[in-house]
Amino acid sequence: MAAPLTDQEKRKQISIRGIVGVENVAELKKGFNRHLHFTLVKDRNVATPRDYYFALAHTVRDHLVGRWIRTQQFYYETDPKNACDEAIYQVEEADDWLRHGNPWEKARPEYMLPVHFYGRVEESKEGSKWVDTQVVLAMPYDTPIPGYMNNTDIIRRFKNSKKGSTGPVSFHSFPEKVAIQLNDTHPAMAIPELMRVFVDIEKLDWDTAWDITKRTFAYTNHTVLPEALERWPVSLLETLLPRHLQIIYRINQGHLDGISALFPEDVDRIRRMSLIEEDGGKRVNMAHLCIVGSHAVNGVAEIHSNIIKTDVFRDFSELEPEKFQNKTNGITPRRWLLLCNPGLAELIAEAIGEEYVKDLSQLQKLNELVDDDAFIRDVSKVKQDNKDKFSQYLEKEYAVEINPFSMFDVHVKRIHEYQEEPKSTFCSPDCDHWWEVIPATDLSEQISTAGTEASGTGNMKFMLNGALTIGTMDGANVEMAEEAGEENMFIFGMRVEDVAEMDIEGFKVFADYEDYIKSQEKVSQLYQAYEFCNEKSTGLAGAMAHDVEGLTEVDDDGEDDWSEKESPLIPSRPDDVGGASLTAGTNPQLVEDLVWRLASLNFGSY
């Protein structure tokens, strides 16, 4: 808990009394017209649909900003830990998706920082110095992310090619205030970069800097496929980031010294665990860098986490078993049920109340209604309405006519070599209209070869919307089957052990195909004999579709890096937070509903 605010600090708190609360539609109309005229400088004679979208988005953002500031004031007083989600993507060519701007972003030029590339490293008594570099200015953008029914907004910070942070004063307490989660190996260079900042700029000794860095980072592996286990050529780093390569070499030396001390005669183990691979040219194994530089490593489903412990990263798991954890992926019911399937969401609320929106385990109450004929008819009607809507969409947009009374057997997935693509399935990879596809689906295809799909969340989204599942025992399907019972799913194909044995003999892509066809025959028989019990699938989903929107905190012992914390209900009275003037009477539900619905509008490149 931070010390109480002084009078001077209280005066620094920003008053947001002038931001009107969303009590009625009239106030929204005023804000809409104000932004249309004075922000976009348009009137209704020349405004386009995109202009109307921007005007409404700016209106909603006004209210989000009020909650954002209130949240920041509350957090300033309570001094909580911050979690940084390091998901950085490499862009190979110009992308003009922001040519019209983004109404949800707030540029932060005051936090702009230089990012260095190329150059060379000079050694002196003061230490290493990276000189003669090419500099790119990195400007952060803040985007408010609304909490649900708690007046709380958090901030997600993005970077563009024009990074930024004020940083804590005490570096020894840095891991107590900052947690950086590495999503796969793409942002692995954050580890040597933080070391460079600590050692070269802040002048910390190496051992202290390394201890702080390891306690700051945690690593999530999302897939065992090669694209998430990157290997960067040493020659590239020598040219592009020479100082970082030096730091990686020193990290590796310390790491291998420890391995050699434990296994002095095991040369193969030392070679396998090195950060630098020698075969076929020198490369940096970024997954090994992430593991060595983090205090926690997790997979995203139970079966996947077991695979990385017993196979992919076995040497590391044997060395530090306490470091490896499982965190099964999850989904939010607000987007994947309330927004995309309001008919079903309302029907469920009428049957069991609205608490399920924040506690999905409440959906298990639907099991009590399985024999309620009236409820089953209502659920079936909602499903048919959704199928009718999607059929109309396909006919309008693609001139494709389908029978809305047929079974909708849907596979929404990127086409990938590990996916056993069935020709009979309607396949809609990366569909922009998922909220029309998912509610209309009768059968969800989750058909990856066992041991290749890390988790998957599409399986949960379909189940939450009343679709039954046909799939292999892979990814989160395993946990879904454990919770729902295999008898309530169409499970087919090999298990992980079978695939491993067949890999030795020579794996065949169609090894599961015959079993898949038999399962599809069972599906057809069931569909013809009796309509799918959609509400049963939805009820079972309550045990699986986790809401993981709580704040996360790294425990000092490193046992659970993702322990969920309930977001605090930010007070709305003026005197509750540091004496600041806060907006009273705001209707957070209306703001959040507008955010979700605006997010659903497809304006392509804005």
- Domains of the chain, by residue range, sit at 333-541
pLDDT value at 169 more than 90? no
Average the pLDDT over 215-238 and give the result. Answer: 91
pLDDT value at 426 more than 50? no
pLDDT number for residue 537: 58
pLDDT number for residue 161: 43
pLDDT number for residue 14: 39
Classified as helix, coil or strand, 518 is helix
Q: Which fold has domain 333-541?
A: Rossmann fold (3.40.50)
The answer to whether residues 145 and 49 touch, using CB atoms and an 8 Å cutoff, is no
User: Diameter of the chain by CA atoms?
Assistant: 82
pLDDT number for residue 483: 85
pLDDT value at 479 more than 70? yes
The answer to whether residues 188 and 289 touch, using CB atoms and an 8 Å cutoff, is yes
The answer to whether residues 535 and 375 touch, using CB atoms and an 8 Å cutoff, is yes
For residue 499, what pLDDT band results from cuts at 50, 70 and 90? confident
Q: Could you read off the pLDDT of 397-413 as tens digits, one per residue?
A: 889 999 999 999 998 87
Nearest to 567 by CA among 180, 74, 182: 74
pLDDT number for residue 358: 87
pLDDT number for residue 433: 65
Least confident of 484-488, 506-510, 512-516: 506-510
Residues, the chain: 606
For residue 589, what pLDDT band results from cuts at 50, 70 and 90? low
pLDDT value at 181 more than 60? yes
Report the alpha-carbon distance of residue 113 to residue 165 in Å, rounded.
Answer: 9
Report the alpha-carbon distance of residue 75 to residue 217 in Å, rounded.
Answer: 22
Token pair of 543 as six digits? 């045990």
Give the DSSP letter string of 8-26: HHHHHSPP-TTSPP--SHH
pLDDT number for residue 6: 55
Residue type, 512: D
Which phi-psi region, left, alpha or beta, contains residue 488 (left: φ > 0; alpha: ψ -120 to 50)?
alpha
pLDDT number for residue 104: 82
For residue 437, what pLDDT band results from cuts at 50, 70 and 90? very high
Intra-chain end-to-end CA distance of the chain, in Å:
42
Counting residues of the chain whose pLDDT is more than 70, the rounded percentage is: 72
pLDDT number for residue 408: 94
Report the alpha-carbon distance of residue 167 to residue 187 in Å, rounded.
Answer: 19
| Cα separation values, 50 from 29, 589, 595, Å | 17, 25, 16
Residue type, 218: A
Neighbours of 134 (CB within 10 A): 10
Report the alpha-carbon distance of residue 7 to residue 35 in Å, rounded.
Answer: 35
The answer to whether residues 359 and 594 touch, using CB atoms and an 8 Å cutoff, is no
| Cα separation values, 465 from 258, 382, 461, 462, 511, Å | 51, 10, 6, 5, 31
pLDDT number for residue 368: 92
CA trace torsion 532, 537, 539, 544 (10° rounding): 180
Counting residues of the chain whose pLDDT is more than 90, the rounded percentage is: 46
Least confident of 159-168, 211-220, 249-258: 159-168
Average the pLDDT over 270-283 and give the result. Answer: 95
pLDDT number for residue 134: 97
Average the pLDDT over 343-351 and give the result. Answer: 94
Task: Compute the mean pLDDT over every residue in the chain, rounded to the nearest whole number.
Answer: 79
Q: Could you read off the pLDDT of 368-380 as tens digits, one per residue?
A: 998 899 999 999 9
168 against 582, higher pLDDT: 168
Report the alpha-carbon distance of residue 44 to residue 346 in Å, rounded.
Answer: 35
pLDDT number for residue 598: 57
Least confident of 114-118, 326-330, 535-539, 573-577: 573-577
Helix (H) or strand (E) holding 306: helix 302-307
pLDDT value at 44 more than 60? yes
pLDDT value at 18 more than 60? no
Nearest to 51 by CA among 60, 42, 59, 63: 42
For residue 448, what pLDDT band results from cuts at 50, 70 and 90? confident
pLDDT value at 122 more than 60? yes
16 against 57, higher pLDDT: 57
Token pair of 479 as six digits? 């946990």
188 CB burial (10 A radius; 0-12, 13-18, 19+): buried
pLDDT value at 328 more than 50? yes
pLDDT number for residue 84: 61
For residue 205, what pLDDT band results from cuts at 50, 70 and 90? very high
pLDDT value at 351 more than 90? yes
In 415-497, the DSSP E strands lie at 426-427, 443-446, 468-471, 490-491
The answer to whether residues 367 and 536 touch, using CB atoms and an 8 Å cutoff, is yes
Report the alpha-carbon distance of residue 589 to residue 334 in Å, rounded.
Answer: 11
In 170-233, the DSSP E strands lie at 178-183, 217-220, 231-233
Report the alpha-carbon distance of residue 383 to residue 290 in Å, rounded.
Answer: 45
Q: Could you read off the pLDDT of 545-575 as tens digits, one per residue?
A: 333 333 233 333 444 544 444 444 444 433 3
